[in-house]
Structure 1
């Protein structure tokens, strides 16, 4: 099934209220929503006719005996059946509206998150994002779809009051005397519950973060026997949520009984005043019965109104949390005139300075040129900025100063999709999806044939172990690929990059988890794959460095030496020191 684009988006004007910003989304689905609301209103009209029919049946068929009772009975049955059918259709269209709104909200948020740069994910916890794309979206969806329906349900009070006025004006006023008090109490309840609603959503997000980190890091937790400590952390988060829910319960228990029982006070007044009027001959028994039914009809809408107030406060808090993400702009976007020059494979760093969002300086006025088809190994100590080169080349981050060019064009002037197709990266910690091995290798080219996938696996040294798996290339790996060894995951990641066949390939210590014997076989294949391809190798092992045409030594975010392995080993003491510190052994 093809993915449908959202029919509308959230209003980008942050100065507007949360509901006004969501209106374009509601208007996009107004056909379904209006149909549902219209049917609900018709159902209310049918519903309020039933007590009036009861009144006429009592007064004319039972008290006065001027008519047959059966027509009234069958009339009530017919109206009840008609109301049931109308309510079924109204509910059907309302649920369809709700699901469409939720679908669009999720896609809007997910699309925006996919546009955000790495720096955004460096500072935002994954649990927060999960909460905002889950429970927060559901809270907003519930209010946008069910809120209007509840308002229509509340219109039964207006319709019923109109019918009561047509029957007996003084008694109608008595029946509605408590309603203004309910309105005032509802506003007070709304003010009291909003801060608690915000607190609940924030603490639910924190709990989601704790759970996510414990699931993702379960191997570390178990390795350090830290289950008890993590359970205490989880319990503390759960306790904070419990406290917030208790405050919410206190507010509800204080206001809801009053909101629920005020209509019952109206029922008592109708019985008292109406009974006196019947005794004095100013109204009929059927009228009192009908008015009792109308007052009872008023109770559910006002209970729903109280629920709507609470839904609205929670939706308001959730919407603001969602808008915090949507209002965060991405600073890594296509320029006004994105370019896609012919692919050659030239890569150049010109006086580049870069610091990560946390302030860590990675590169300091770095200059490096890699010619098309050249293989360059980058060597240096921890924190020297080696891995940052590939991230800047693919524009995962934007440089702080200077520029990075691919084929002579500043990467900021590229169309992002074209740049990412041109620069392939294999990280030292590859991520695999919970898919088959075939689908993981073909992730960058979903239309690739099995033969093409196998050829990439052979080139990456992965074909042998994949064929030994029970289902071969159709074997589904566990979450993050943890059912495979570290070396196997790295080989799958290399195959995934080779299948895309990028002009520039960055191997970020991509064979660090592979044993030497397997690494040699991979290198034999990679030599063929790298022929004519620009390759940047972040290297620690001497065997990996041997693949390069030249070697670059980095320290403090700069290139401090450049040459062949032999020339650097002979004339650059710092190069030998780095190799020794990294325990690179010569063959």
Structure 2
């Protein structure tokens, strides 16, 4: 897997929640001010050139066509030259503006994604992936569009000011007549802003709902097809899309109420200029060229009025989107690196001391768990569904922090380990292994990207995966499909085990990770593991007798605490609860089979 070094964001979002969304985004915008200011300056120069063209037309008409005091060709060439100059300036302004936009979008995506990568498991338990995808895509785009194109549109709107100043210098009365509609536009803009804001927020929220439905159905397409639920899921998406349609329809209704009025007010100004200007020409107080020029200026004012409405709508959409992004960035990571600490040598000694834990939704998982697993031991955790077996591994790897008590690795609280060091020492293979859509080599080397092919092959061999990988068309270079579904469940689990083995952790936790592997392969995996590294501490969340038989000790977990501890034979002979759990597991496996 190739890793291209990324450029770190040049700035971040201001952490002060009391500031407005724009002030919080200001450090990011400020970091790109050189490109943005260059673009805005060029746009402004382009506007100055643009407003000179109608004035040249005025002078040309009056002097070349009315009074015949100058040649027409000269003004034609001057106007053509100004038009060409404006085109070049506008090209450069657009180029720098788009560069600013892409740089801002890059930084925003990096900031949001980096924060998401720092978030703990508990955060993802609460938030839907489709919601996160929406915030990391369409919401970021809405903010980026406003931060870059908003200032550009404001500069473009300044053509009204420049044109008005020039119009005042030509004919003050006509200038005032042409600008009579401006106050009405300002009032309408404010009212439009108030009306559109809540709808903008609603649109973004409901778009996220559609993204969630699509994401879940794509990821769970096999379940959908297994239960022939395609039409039902299409109906679910249609319902979510209908809610978006309602929000968009409401937004369109508001726009149709306000936008035509704002667009047509300048045309009313044009009619007034023609009326008043025509009368002034008839009475000798203005020239024909002046009326023609003012017509051009009034037409020039139409785009700013239209863009004023656009920037108001963009601002409302960006404000709504920014709040959704800030909701993520303002959520602190629950699992953070501790201050620098010298950690003890790795031995694999794991101790749970009076550990209590409840998941973020309030579900109690462990209640006063006391457990000591010595270095090099292979321990099987057995218990009914929901007894807390898998939670033991998640706390050891510090996917969650304990509610009470301590988890000690080699005598040091896991909360005192740097996370990278802890995850190197505690490897976990989940019961549903996830593979990326890259080669098998890159999947196995995910935790250690610099690993050589020989090291990858050794880990795959220890996990019992080498044989089937070599049988594939491209061997270790075979690219697996999305989530690894081109492989069987047992093959995916063996690749996941190889991925953990390559990191070579002193503590390996197999969270029912060999459930999809047949007994023979499972035995080979553990035999290879023992031969590969004597002294590795291995914890197996187990249901099958074949898996339990490989353990040095068996721990019976019940109601979040240790109910019994011993060998398989001793527990089977002396502990009725253990026998009941095994019987229930056997019945479940037979039912599944």
- What TM-score comes out, normalization by structure 1 length? 0.98
Aligned match of 2:393 = 390
**Which moved further from structure 2: 47-56 or 530-539?**
530-539
Q: Which residue of 1 aligns with 2:65?
A: 62
Matches of 1:421 and 1:38, distance apart in 2: 52
1:453-500 deviation digits (Å, cap 9, x = unpaired): 111111100011111111111111111111111000000000000001
Distance in 1, Cα, partners of 2:162 & 2:123: 52
Contact 1:339 1:413 in 2 (8 A): no
C-alpha distance in 2 between matches for 1:61 and 1:549: 106
**Which residue does the alignment assign to 1:547?**
550
Aligned partner of residue 517 in structure 2, secondary structure: coil
Distance 1:128 1:450 in 2: 39
Q: Counterpart of 1:577 in 2: which secondary structure?
A: helix
**Structure 2 residue 520 is matched with structure 1 residue 510:** no
Distance 2:5 2:264 in 1: 51
1:523 aligns with 2:526: yes
Deviation at 1:164, TM superposition (A): 0.5
* Distance in 2, Cα, partners of 1:476 & 1:231: 31
CA contact (8 A) 1:117 1:396 kept: yes
Whether 1:35 and 2:38 are equivalent positions in the alignment is yes
Matched, 1:469 2:472: yes
> CA shift at 1:338, angstroms?
4.5
**3-state DSSP class of the match of 2:154?**
helix
Structure 1 residues 108-117 or 368-377, which shifts more?
368-377
Deviations 1:216-240 (A, max 9, x none): 1111111111111111111111111
Matches within 5 A, 1:223-372: 223-372=226-375
- Does residue 20 in structure 1 map to residue 51 in structure 2? no
293-302 vs 544-553, which moves further: 544-553
How many positions carry a matched residue from both structures?
585
- CA-to-aligned-CA distance 1:378-407 (integer Å, 9 cap, x gap): 111111111001100111001010011111
For residues 260 and 197 of structure 2, the distance between their equivalents in structure 1, rounded to whole angstroms, comes to 19
1:554 offset after TM fit, Å? 0.8
Match of 1:183 in 2: 186
The 1:480–1:371 alpha-carbon spacing in structure 2 relative to 1, beyond 3 Å, is same
Instruction: Measure, in 2, the Cα distance between the counterparts of 1:336 and 1:453.
Output: 33
Rounded Cα–Cα distance in structure 2 between residues aligned with 1:7 and 1:102: 12
Q: TM-score, normalised by structure 2?
A: 0.97
State the partner residue of 1:489.
492
In 1, the alpha carbon distance for the partners of 2:534 and 2:327 equals: 47
Q: Deviations over 1:495-526 (max 9, x none)?
A: 00000101111011111001122222222212
Counterpart CA distance in 1 for 2:524 and 2:342 is 38
* Higher alpha-carbon deviation: 326-335 or 89-98: 326-335
Range moving further from structure 2, 334-343 or 118-127: 334-343
Partner SS state of residue 446, structure 2:
helix
Further displaced range: 276-285 or 372-381:
372-381
Q: Which residue of 2 aligns with 1:47?
A: 50
SS at match of 1:388: helix
- 1:376 paired to 2:383: no
RMSD between aligned alpha carbons?
1.2
User: Using the alignment, how far apart are the partners of 1:539 and 1:161 within structure 2?
Assistant: 81
Separation (CA, whole Å) in 2 of partners of 1:61 and 1:347: 96
Q: Quick check: 1:375–1:530 contact (8 Å CA) kept in 2? A: no
Q: Distance in 2 between matches of 1:418 and 1:526?
A: 22
Q: Secondary structure at the match of 1:365?
A: strand
| 1:527 and 1:547 in contact (8 A); partners too | no
CA offsets, 1:72-91, max 9 Å, x none?
A: 11000110000000000000
Q: How far apart are residue 420 of structure 1 and its match?
A: 1.1
State the partner residue of 1:154. Answer: 157
Distance 1:13 1:338 in 2: 30
Choose 9-18 or 370-379, whichever is displaced more: 370-379
Correspondent of 1:96 among 96, 99, 104: 99
Residue 192 of structure 1 corresponds to 195
What is the alpha-carbon distance in structure 2 between the residues aligned to residue 476 and residue 203 of structure 1?
36
Q: Compute the displacement of 1:199 (Å).
A: 0.6
What's 1:421 paired with?
424
Structure 2 stretches lacking a partner, 5+ long: none
The yes-or-no answer on 1:139 pairing with 2:142 is yes
Unpaired stretches in structure 1, ≥5 consecutive residues: none
The correspondence for 1:573, drawn from 567, 573, 576, is 576
Per mean C-alpha deviation after superposition, the further-off stretch among 425-434 and 540-549 is 540-549
Match of 1:215 in 2: 218
CA–CA distance in 1 between the matches of 2:573 and 2:260? 87
Alpha-carbon deviation of 1:567?
2.1
Measured against aligned partners, the alpha-carbon deviations of 1:262-290 in whole angstroms (never above 9, x if no partner) come to: 00111111111111111111111111111
